[in-house]
Amino acid sequence: MSVHLKKHSSEKPFECSYCKKKFTHKQTLTEHVRIHTGEKPFECNFCKKRFTSKRYLTLHVKIHTGEKPFECNFCKKRLTSKRYLTLHVRIHTGEKPFECSYCEKKFTRKQSLTKHVRIHAAKKPFECSYCKKKFTHKQTLTEHVRIHTGEKLFECNYCKKNFTHKHQLIVHVRIHTGEKPFECSYCKKRFTQKHSLNGHVRIHTGEKLFECNYCKKNFTHKHHLTVHVRLHTDKKPFECNYCKKRFTQKHGLIKHVRIHTGEKPFECRYCKKKFTHKHSLNGHVRIHTGEKLFECNYCKKNFTHKHHLTVHVRLHTDKKPFECNYCKKRFTQKHGLIKHVRIHTGEKPFECSYCKKRFTIKENLIKHVRIHTPTYIRGGSRGSRPHPFASVAP
């Protein structure tokens, strides 16, 4: 009875000698002190993992035994502990008993409130012992430390791949199960991750939350802003181990490395042709299906590839976004600009394997090679020519 009454009083007679935090019960203090000492006296008989308190061990063991004695009256979901049930029920009732004294925002869990309050206080009490980076939440620090240790605790039961964070495993498993729990209320498209849905919804709403400090351009996704800013800073953090070329995006590096390795992971299900990039495969597949997804708003002509539509639209708008730094001539396509600039620089990247003569553009090399090959096929009609690189029978 006396122990219970302390819950209603503000008395906290037990003080931690390490951090001066006070507690109502001696047992709670004892468990708390183990955070400082690192002591974990309670060991799981199944996996040998150790815990600071017996109640944490008891909860953990239920993962192995599958025991879930507490059932939700609303949805019949079963939970391992009464505390988890209490928290879960608030999803149904909407109860949020913990209120922030700064902004009056409410939370279902005290832990969530504690984390939130640190935003107002700008408090980051948890420091990484490896790189000294500080964090607002202990859980964030714990996950961060795994970057340094390389520890990957979470294993996929389907393919045995391991992950640093539990969330990464949960998302990965959906590749195997096909589960897409997040649905767009506008078009009903479904997603494996909530942040993917949030980004997608902005396509419908036109919302662009992320602004570039350099040029004030706005972006739908934070990642797009991050990549864009590198155009201003010229930051290229991703380096190729083969040729030392650097890239603004990791995805760009991954695609580039395949030039060196020859890897072509994307195979056409129709003709088995393989491709280095997925978008190349997607475009190729439309040759088989005849699908033309991209329509011009001006003339209603349809295109297989979005890029082809983009270039086509410039015929209507007379937009020429690519300007030569030497003579200010403008071009509708980047490829056209690249070829043009060689007139100024004198660059001739295409070399004839027969006579070593060099050319500014590949088309001129192909024409030139015909000088070295027979002009007419014997017995053929006048003017018929072989393929530039074809061999002719004697």
**Long-range Cβ contacts of 237-243 (<8 Å, 24+ apart):** none
- Is the pLDDT score of 5 beyond 60? no
Contact 81, 59 (CB under 8 A): yes
DSSP of 231-299, one letter per residue?
Answer: HHHT---EE-TTT--EESSHHHHHHHHHHHH----EE-TTT--EESSHHHHHHHHHHHH----EE-TTT
The partner residues of 107 in beta bridges, in order of sequence, read 98
Is the pLDDT higher at 280 or at 203? 280
Q: Which helix (H) or strand (E) holds 228?
A: helix 222-233
User: What is the share, in percent, of the chain residues with pLDDT greater than 70?
Assistant: 91
pLDDT of residue 383: 43
Residue 42 contacts residue 50 (beta carbons within 8 Å): yes
Distance CA 38, CA 28 (A): 15
CB of 113 within 8 A of CB of 100?
A: yes
The pLDDT value recorded for residue 356 is 93
> What's the pLDDT score for residue 377?
38
| Residue 326: C-alpha distances to residues 15, 217, 323, 340, 342 (Å) | 74, 27, 9, 10, 11
CA–CA separation, 79 and 92 (whole Å) = 15
Distance in angstroms (rounded) separating the CA atoms of residues 229 and 240: 21
What are φ and ψ of residue 351, in 5° steps?
-110, 135
What would the pLDDT profile of 51-87 be if each residue is shown by its tens digit? 888 888 887 888 788 888 888 898 888 888 888 888 8
**pTM listed for this prediction:** 0.36
Q: Which residues contact 380 (CB under 8 A, 6 or more apart)?
A: none
Gyration radius of the chain's alpha carbons: 32
**What pLDDT is stored for residue 12 in this prediction?**
85
Of 93-102, 226-235, 353-362, give the lowest mean pLDDT range: 93-102
Q: What is the DSSP letter of 157?
A: T
For 134-191, the pLDDT digits (tens) are 887 777 888 888 888 888 878 888 888 888 888 888 889 988 888 888 888 878 888 8
Task: List the domains of the chain with CATH numbers.
Answer: 23-95 (3.30.160.60), 320-394 (3.30.160.60)
43-54 pLDDT, tens digit each = 888 888 888 888
pLDDT tier, 388 (very low <50, low <70, confident <90, very high otherwise): very low
Going by pLDDT thresholds of 50, 70 and 90, the confidence category of residue 344 is: very high
